Amino acid sequence: MYLEDESVYVGEPRQPNSGIPQGSFLKRHRIPVGDTGAFFGIGDIHVGETVTFYGRSFFVVSCDAFTRAFLESRGVAVAEDQPFPDEPIELYRATLKKDTVAFPYPPAPRNDVLAAYIEASNGAPSHLLVADKLEKFLANDRKVLRFFCVWDDRGALYGEKRPFVLHYYLADDSVEVLEVAEPNGGRDPFPVFLRRQPLPNRKLSADPTAQTKSDSYVTHLDLRIGGTVHVFGREFFIHDADAFTKKWYVDNEGFDPVEDFPLVDVDEPSAPIPQNAVPPYNGFGGLADSLQNCVALIPKPVRPDFDKLMTYTDTVLRFKARMIKDETGHSRYTPTESDEAREFIVSVYLANDTVAVFEPPDRKKQIVGGKFLERQECLKPNSAEKYEATDCYAGARLILFSRCFELHEADGYTYGFMEQHGPSFPRSDVKQVVARLRSLLAGREAAAREAFGGAEKTDAQGMQRALTAAGIEVVKQECVTLFRRLAGGADAVDVKTVCDELGVAEPEEKTA
What confidence category does residue 18 fall into, taking pLDDT thresholds of 50, 70 and 90? Answer: confident
Closest CA to 379 of 457, 451, 282, 502: 282
What confidence category does residue 385 fall into, taking pLDDT thresholds of 50, 70 and 90? Answer: confident
Q: Are 2 and 67 within 8 A, CB to CB?
A: no
Do both 152 and 166 map to the same domain? yes
Of the given ranges (205-214, 225-234, 394-403), which has the lowest mean pLDDT?
205-214
Q: Is the pLDDT of residue 360 over 80?
A: yes
Do both 404 and 483 map to the same domain? no
What confidence category does residue 129 fall into, taking pLDDT thresholds of 50, 70 and 90? Answer: low
Do both 150 and 200 map to the same domain? yes
Q: Alpha-carbon distance 463 to 476, whole Å?
A: 9
In a domain, 237, yes or no: yes
For 55-70, how does the pLDDT look when each residue is reduced to its tens digit (9 = 90+)?
899 999 999 999 999 9
Burial class (CB in 10 A: 0-12, 13-18, 19+), 189: exposed
Do both 106 and 66 map to the same domain? no
Do both 57 and 35 map to the same domain? yes
Q: Which residues have a Cβ under 8 Å from the Cβ of 232 and sit 6 or more positions away?
A: 194, 200, 204
SS3 at position 222: helix
For 442-453, how does the pLDDT look when each residue is reduced to its tens digit (9 = 90+)?
888 888 888 887
Do both 323 and 389 map to the same domain? yes
In a domain, 356, yes or no: yes
In a domain, 57, yes or no: yes
Q: What are phi and psi of 142, to 5 degrees?
A: 65, 20
CATH, residue 28:
2.30.29.170
In a domain, 175, yes or no: yes
Of the given ranges (106-115, 230-239, 351-360), which has the lowest mean pLDDT?
106-115
What value, to the nearest 5°, has the Cα angle with vertex 92 and ends 91 and 93? 90
Summary mean pLDDT of the chain: 85
Do both 440 and 405 map to the same domain? no
Q: Alpha-carbon distance 434 to 146, whole Å?
A: 73
What's the total number of domains in the chain? 5
Q: Are 266 and 237 within 8 A, CB to CB?
A: yes
Q: Alpha-carbon distance 368 to 8, whole Å?
A: 108
Do both 311 and 416 map to the same domain? yes
- Whole domain around residue 58: which residue ranges? 8-73
Q: Which residues pair with 400 in a beta bridge?
A: 403
Q: Alpha-carbon distance 91 to 98, whole Å?
A: 11
In a domain, 235, yes or no: yes
Q: Alpha-carbon distance 139 to 97, whole Å?
A: 13
Q: Are 249 and 260 within 8 A, CB to CB?
A: yes
In a domain, 106, yes or no: yes
Q: Is the pLDDT of residue 10 over 90?
A: yes
Do both 113 and 97 map to the same domain? yes
Q: Alpha-carbon distance 221 to 151, whole Å?
A: 20
What confidence category does residue 373 fall into, taking pLDDT thresholds of 50, 70 and 90? Answer: very high
Q: Alpha-carbon distance 460 to 491, whole Å?
A: 9
Q: Are 79 and 47 within 8 A, CB to CB?
A: yes
Q: Alpha-carbon distance 121 to 115, whole Å?
A: 10
In a domain, 508, yes or no: no
Higher per-residue pLDDT: 447 or 116:
447
What confidence category does residue 317 fall into, taking pLDDT thresholds of 50, 70 and 90? Answer: very high
Burial class (CB in 10 A: 0-12, 13-18, 19+), 115: exposed
pLDDT of residue 207: 52
SS3 at position 480: helix
Q: Mark which of 40, 73, 106 sits at the end of a domain.
A: 73
How far lies 35's CA from each of 39, 46, 57, 412, in Å? 10, 21, 17, 108
In a domain, 123, yes or no: yes
183 upstream amide cis, omega within 30 of 0: no
Of the given ranges (93-102, 118-127, 176-185, 461-470), which has the lowest mean pLDDT?
93-102
Do both 479 and 405 map to the same domain? no
What are the CB-based long-range contacts (under 8 Å, 24+) for 432-435? 433/478, 433/481, 433/482, 434/482, 434/501, 434/502
Q: Is the pLDDT of residue 102 over 90?
A: no
Q: Which residues have a Cβ under 8 Å from the Cβ of 122 and sit 6 or more positions away?
A: none
For residue 441, how many other CB atoms are within 10 A of its CB?
Answer: 19
pLDDT of residue 57: 92
Q: Give, as one character, the DSSP assignment of residue 439.
A: H
Do both 108 and 62 map to the same domain? no
- Distance between alpha carbon 372 and the CA centroid of its chain, in Å? 51
For 156-201, how does the pLDDT look when each residue is reduced to its tens digit (9 = 90+)?
988 889 999 999 999 999 999 999 988 888 888 888 999 999 999 8
Do both 247 and 312 map to the same domain? no
Q: Alpha-carbon distance 317 to 177, whole Å?
A: 72
